[in-house]
Chains A and B, each alone.
Chain A
Amino acid sequence: MTARVREAGRLDHGDHVCAVFETPADHHRIMLDFVKDGLRAGDRVAYYTHTVDPSVVLFRLAADGLEAHAAAAAGQLVVRPAAETCLANLPFDPAGAVASLGAQVEAALGAGFAGLRLGGDMTWAARGVPEGDRLLEYEQLMTEMLDNRPALALCQYDGALLDSATADAAVGLHNRRLLAPPPPPPRAQVEMTADGLVLRGEFDLSNAPALVAAVDQLLADGGQAHVFVDELVFIDGQGAAQLMRLHRTPAPLVLHGAPAILRRILEVCWPEAEVCLP
């Protein structure tokens, strides 16, 4: 990594920013912040995806609190496959790709936006694109294109796919580097206390094993099961089925503070079970 790469604060027009991500979740959080800042600044944001469908990007941005669909309808947010830009003409043609991105800057200004923020998932660079090894040439041309224009660009690289020499060289051709924001707190917490099992947050297929393990442990401990669910936000039918493993004769399950969602599942799936709901 070269010394002239700065860790990013706020991005400015002219910046050519790089971010090396380790996980898809990191990739998404970097993109989310990038898009959010761009929309707030009144720029057009054009993001080019590679491994994820544009519809999924829009869905995730919207679910994470951005007015993504409204911004897309207004032309402020454009999410397209990389196949339509850098990879539109193969073999990879760095000068042609950068020229077409440069034309997009003018188009954004013409449409009344303050500038253009280009974002892209560069995973394709590591995936056998013909002439893909001309990546460094492309990055150099991008830096020149962005200089003195109301535009900036973010290149997201998958750290797991790039060899370290290419990664260092690519990072070195950017003037700033973004790090992934810290991960949000886990959506669900499972805590075993002296009084019983405490469940907080949302339980679904994505975190089922933690719930199964906790239920297994309570079953192994024996006795009447007490589960504290007053901070439970969501549980699905399979999660409720796990809890119902704790409902035994002669010791019915005790659910403290059961929220409406859990009561609804019990009423539909176990109408006759006499679970204690203090």
Chain B
Amino acid sequence: MTTTQPHADERRLPMWHEALLYRSRDEYVDGLTAFLHEAIADERPAFVSVPAEHGDLLRASLDGQSHLVRFADMRQVGANPNRILPAIRAFIDEHADREVSFIGEPIWAGRSEAEVAEATRHEALINHAFDGTGARIICPYDVSALDPRTVADAYRTHPRVWADGAWVTSADYTDPTFLWCTIKHLPPVPAEAETFEVETDDLPRLRARADAHADDAKLDLARSQDLALVVSELASNSLNHAGHPGTVALWHEDGTVWAQVTDRGRITDPLAGRVQPDRTSWGGRGLWLVNNLSDLVQLHSDETGTVIRVRISRPS
């Protein structure tokens, strides 16, 4: 092992969460292959979720050992970044007797600003969710292609960073619950949006309006039904948890419907909607459904209230 390879040291941490800032394909493959070889040698279960073409590169570099590693296309798993945390959690739970290794690349060049903001929020929450599990998590960032602000955020969400050929402790590392509260990418609701409050008796009407927007956006039946369920859950959450009607905004473009629900309640659990609800528990199912049925979920909650914006699109 040369000094340019990560994990030459054997620090034991409650968990590792590191960013690999790479500038070339070789740096990507060398760094991550070393991480996987180490996991294989230590018999740690390994899970790789990166864009499929990157997964192919890593598979080819594993010298016939790729069957020991689980691969999943991050474009699927992390299409909605809020679904990545439960995917990692499921892998950890599946291997309860072992500490696991995970490579996650939720941010790639070309992702929309809204998606990058949510993927960054997810990166912050990794530190909160898996503290104490002993998981070793490394997240590659393509610094040659990503916006410098995105790379700067990697220093805020990862305690340790591989940059310019060396590991450094990030001086910018930031408390994950602080980032969860403060990352905000919500452009104004467009003027053409339909906006109204939803009382309990209006829930069927809300679904009727969601159906109308889905028709206008030419969503298929399955996505239309998902949309109706998602908006119904969000408006019900306001009534149940905030204790008053939420304000709903609906708007669409071809192939996509947006819905936003605002209320004066506050969500305090950063993992709300990112933990598979216990089968016997009553609460927590609304946001879990919302995260699993939407293409993007932007949740922002502070002392002034809660805003949840969702995007539901026709499958491409």
Q: Is B207 an interface residue (CB 8 A)?
A: yes
Q: Which of B110-118, B158-166, B225-233 contacts A (4 or more CB under 8 A)?
A: B225-233
The CA-CA distance from A30 to B187 in the complex, in Å, is 39
Which residues on B sit within 8 Å (CB–CB) of A106?
none
The CA-CA distance from A25 to B204 in the complex, in Å, is 14
Q: Is there contact, CB below 8 Å, between B225 and A204?
A: no
Q: Describe A's contact surface by its main secondary structure.
A: helix
- Other-chain contact of B195, A55, A187, A236 (Cβ < 8 Å): A55
Q: Which residue of B lies closest to A73 (CB)?
A: B192
Q: Which residue of B lies closest to A272 (CB)?
A: B279
Known: A63-B206, A204-B236, A238-B282. 15 other contacts (CB 8 A): A55-B197, A59-B196, A60-B202, A69-B194, A204-B204, A204-B232, A205-B236, A206-B203, A206-B204, A237-B233, A237-B289, A264-B225, A264-B226, A264-B229, A270-B279
Which residues on B sit within 8 Å (CB–CB) of A234?
204, 207, 228-229, 232
- Other-chain contact of B279, A56, A59, A236, A244 (Cβ < 8 Å): A244
User: Separation in Å of the B219 CB from the closest CB of chain A?
Assistant: 14
Q: A59-B194, A69-B194, A204-B232 are in contact. Are A237 and B286 (CB under 8 A)?
A: yes
Q: Is A243 an interface residue (CB 8 A)?
A: no
Q: Is A129 an interface residue (CB 8 A)?
A: no
Which residues on A sit within 8 Å (CB–CB) of B195?
55
User: Separation in Å of the A161 CB from the closest CB of chain B?
Assistant: 19
- Could you write out 24 A-B pairs with CB less than 8 Å apart? A53-B196, A55-B196, A58-B194, A59-B205, A59-B209, A60-B205, A62-B194, A62-B209, A62-B212, A63-B208, A64-B208, A69-B194, A205-B203, A205-B236, A206-B201, A234-B204, A236-B232, A236-B233, A261-B225, A261-B229, A264-B225, A264-B229, A264-B293, A269-B289
Q: Which residue of A lies closest to B281 (CB)?
A: A241
Q: Which residue of A lies closest to B277 (CB)?
A: A269
Q: Is there contact, CB below 8 Å, between A236 and B196?
A: no
Tier of interface size on chain B? 20 to 34
User: Separation in Å of the B40 CB from the closest CB of chain A?
Assistant: 29
Q: Is A265 an interface residue (CB 8 A)?
A: yes
Which residues on B sit within 8 Å (CB–CB) of A272?
279
Q: Is B182 an interface residue (CB 8 A)?
A: no
The CA-CA distance from A187 to B209 in the complex, in Å, is 16
Q: Is B288 an interface residue (CB 8 A)?
A: yes
6 smallest beta-carbon distances between A and B, as pairs: A63-B205, A59-B196, A237-B285, A63-B208, A268-B292, A55-B196
Which residues on B sit within 8 Å (CB–CB) of A238?
236, 282, 285-286
Q: Which residue of B lies closest to A57 (CB)?
A: B196
Which residues on A sit within 8 Å (CB–CB) of B197?
53, 55-56
Contact residues of A between 231 and 256, Cβ < 8 Å to B: 234, 236-238, 240-241, 244
Which residues on B sit within 8 Å (CB–CB) of A244?
279
Q: Is there contact, CB below 8 Å, between A269 and B288?
A: yes
Q: Is B222 an interface residue (CB 8 A)?
A: yes
Q: Is there contact, CB below 8 Å, between B277 and A64?
A: no
Q: Is there contact, CB below 8 Å, between A265 and B277?
A: no
Q: Is there contact, CB below 8 Å, between A260 and B205?
A: no
The CA-CA distance from A270 to B292 in the complex, in Å, is 13
The CA-CA distance from A82 to B293 in the complex, in Å, is 41
Q: Is B24 an interface residue (CB 8 A)?
A: no
Q: Is B240 an interface residue (CB 8 A)?
A: yes
Contact residues of B between 77 and 122, Cβ < 8 Å to A: none
